[in-house]
Amino acid sequence: MLNNGRQDGPPDLDELWRDFRRKLGGIFGGGGGGGSQPPGGGSPNFEPDMKSAGVGVGLIAGVVALIWAGSGVFIVQEGEQSVITTFGSYSRTVDAGLQWRLPYPIQQHETVKVTQLRSVDVGRQSVAASTGLRDSSMLTQDENIVDIRFTVQYTLKDARAFLFENRGTDDAVSQASESAVREIVGRSKVDSVLYERRDAIAADLVKSIQAQLDKLNAGVTIKNVNLKNVEVPEQVQAAFDDAFKAGADRDRYKNEGQAYASDVIPKAQGTAARLAEEAQGYKSRVVARAEGDAQRFLSVYAEYQKAPGVMRDRLYIDTMREIYNNVTKVMVDSRSGSNLLYLPLDKIMQQAGQGSVGGASAPTAPTAPVAAPAASAEPAAADPRAREGREGLRSRDRDSR
């Protein structure tokens, strides 16, 4: 397509190349900017001066220097640390973020992941031909053999120590773990290793391995020790199982005995305390009653000394009242008229009680008649001389007592 004698469209490669050469000639002071073209489309005369050439070289050198300086920019990701070395010697450690160092070959950097959880398996399953035991077998304090295999998990805490202080960190962790486990098992008994202190042994391993690696300045932190296999050799496994069951039965019986003792002893102690309190109460009651009786006797004796006759009569009457309160038979003696009456009052009272309970439908019959007639009793009771004789007999009887 033509537009005012010009062709509309992208420029061809020859035209681009000619424009580039004209600009380059202008930079170096040549006459390519407005010089005439030789016949046949050849290049213009290129005559650079030294000043323009120096400026061009400087610009190129500056661009190269900027590119070289920019090669020292690097990024450290989260959870990583980068160690910068100067001609192979440690310079500094940088954390996560955009960092810069002097470009190669002056300085270099190496990045390691410090938060990554690394693991090392300790305890090989290979069997030694001379002993027939695994390499993970070791001797306990009571001269028994146990087989222990476990995994050590750790992270990095110092990138510089990890890179420069040890040639192989995994090997250092493995050797420190083997040394620690043999030390701990060597001072423990087989029952403690197998059953009683299994979790405690894992915690002791963490502390022991960390202490040895700190001495080596390995730059790692032990996070956890997982015991995968703790057992005795297969030749004695059945015997150890029987011994473990016997120990479990022993503990069970012991716990049952302690439970029974905890139930019986408090009851016995409570019974003993109750009996002691009852005995103390009985003692206090008897002593108080005896002291009260003694005080009452002393008070009565004092009154008796003031009026002996009156006190004798009073004591006699009180004693007779107490005795006759519990007697169901009453005897009436009449010496003057020689009339002796026996009344079966106990039967009468019993029948009266039954009648009150059973009602009027149960008639009562007298069990025994009255021994003396009422006619003979009335004159005797009405005779004044008989009354005087009875009173004289009672007074003489009291005086004789």
Domains and their CATH numbers in the chain: 73-113 (no CATH), 118-232 (3.30.479.30), 327-400 (no CATH)
Measured from the Cβ of residue 89, the count of other Cβ atoms closer than 10 Å reads: 8
- Say which residues have a Cβ less than 8 Å from residue 237's Cβ, sequence separation at least 6: 231
- Say which residues have a Cβ less than 8 Å from residue 9's Cβ, sequence separation at least 6: 1
Instruction: List the structure tokens of 383.
Output: 């005779």
Which CA distances in Å does 313 have to 84, 305, 310?
129, 14, 5
Measured from the Cβ of residue 384, the count of other Cβ atoms closer than 10 Å reads: 7
Contact 97, 127 (CB under 8 A): no
Q: Any idea of the CA torsion for 331, 333, 339, 343, to the nearest 10 degrees?
A: -10
Give me the pLDDT at residue 333, please: 60
Nearest-angstrom CA–CA distance, 71 and 109: 12
Decide the pairing of beta strands 330-334 and 80-86.
unpaired
Give me the pLDDT at residue 338, please: 52
Amino acid 347 reads: K
Closest CA to 344 of 322, 370, 326, 321: 370
Residue 360 DSSP code: T
Contacts 24+ apart (CB under 8 A), 386-391: 386/334, 386/336, 386/337, 389/335, 389/336, 390/334, 390/335, 390/336
Residue 21 DSSP code: H
Nearest-angstrom CA–CA distance, 201 and 213: 18
Give me the pLDDT at residue 83, please: 86
Give me the pLDDT at residue 169, please: 85
Instruction: List the structure tokens of 136.
Output: 């993970």
Q: Could you tell me the pTM of the whole model?
A: 0.47
Cα Rg of the chain (Å, integer) = 64
Q: What number of CA atoms fall less than 13 Å from residue 295's CA on the CB side?
A: 6
Give me the pLDDT at residue 125, please: 67
Query: Chain-centre distance of CA 382, in angstroms?
Result: 101
pLDDT in tens, the chain (401 residues): 444 444 555 556 677 777 767 766 665 555 444 444 444 444 455 455 566 666 667 778 888 888 887 777 888 888 788 888 888 788 888 887 887 888 888 888 888 888 888 999 887 766 655 555 666 788 888 888 888 889 999 998 888 888 888 788 888 898 899 889 999 998 888 878 887 788 888 899 999 999 999 898 888 999 999 988 888 877 777 777 787 788 888 989 999 999 999 999 999 999 999 999 999 999 999 999 999 999 988 888 888 888 888 888 888 888 888 887 776 666 666 665 555 555 556 666 677 777 665 554 444 444 444 444 333 333 344 444 444 444 544 554 555 44
- Give the helix, strand, coil percentages of the chain, each rounded to 5: 55, 20, 25
Contact 109, 85 (CB under 8 A): yes
Give me the pLDDT at residue 82, please: 86
Nearest-angstrom CA–CA distance, 151 and 202: 10
DSSP assignment of 330-356:
EEEEETTTTEEEEE-HHHHHHHHHHHH
Closest CA to 116 of 157, 170, 155: 155
Residue 63: burial class (beta carbons within 10 Å; 0-12, 13-18, 19+): exposed
Burial 45-58 (b: 16+ CB within 10 A, else e): eeeeeeeeeeeeee
Give me the pLDDT at residue 349, please: 66
| Secondary structure of residue 13 in the 3-state scheme | helix
